[in-house]
């Protein structure tokens, strides 16, 4: 097993039905960032599978991918291309 003493990994203790305790190493979820400027995206949930995908991020185009400033640039570029 590789080193588990890392800030990006989380140790998970699980008991099997037979009572045997095992340890998992799970990666911690990072902060969602903008695909262009790498700024942290507000309004985007970190949790992996507890919330529906549509409820995790803004419902506008590029929601959850680009920040508001970067998506505004893309909206303008798309409107000018037409």
Residue 34 in the binding site for Zn ion (CB under 5 A): yes
Start-to-end CA distance of the chain, whole Å, equals 55
H runs (alpha helix) in 1-82 = 68-81
Greatest CA separation for the chain:
64
Q: Which CB, 26 or 72, lies closer to Zn ion?
A: 72
CB atoms within 10 A of CB 32: 18
Residue 37 in the binding site for Zn ion (CB under 5 A): yes
> Helix, strand or coil for residue 40?
strand
**Smallest distance, Å, CB 51 to Zn ion?**
23
Residue 75 in the binding site for Zn ion (CB under 5 A): no
**Smallest distance, Å, CB 34 to Zn ion?**
3
Binding-site size for Zn ion (CB under 5 A) equals 5
Residue 67 in the binding site for Zn ion (CB under 5 A): yes
Q: What is the DSSP letter of 39?
A: P
Which residues would be at the binding site for Zn ion (CB under 5 A)? 34, 36-37, 67, 70
């Amino acid at each position: 097993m590789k080193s588990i003493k890392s800030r990006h990994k989380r140790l998970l203790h699980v008991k099997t039905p037979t009572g045997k305790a095992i340890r998992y190493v799970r990666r911690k979820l990072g902060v969602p960032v903008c695909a262009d400027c790498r700024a942290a995206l507000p309004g985007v949930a970190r949790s992996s599978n507890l919330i529906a995908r549509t409820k995790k991020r803004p419902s506008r185009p590029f929601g959850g991918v680009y920040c508001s400033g970067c998506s505004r640039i893309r909206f303008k570029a798309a409107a000018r291309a037409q």
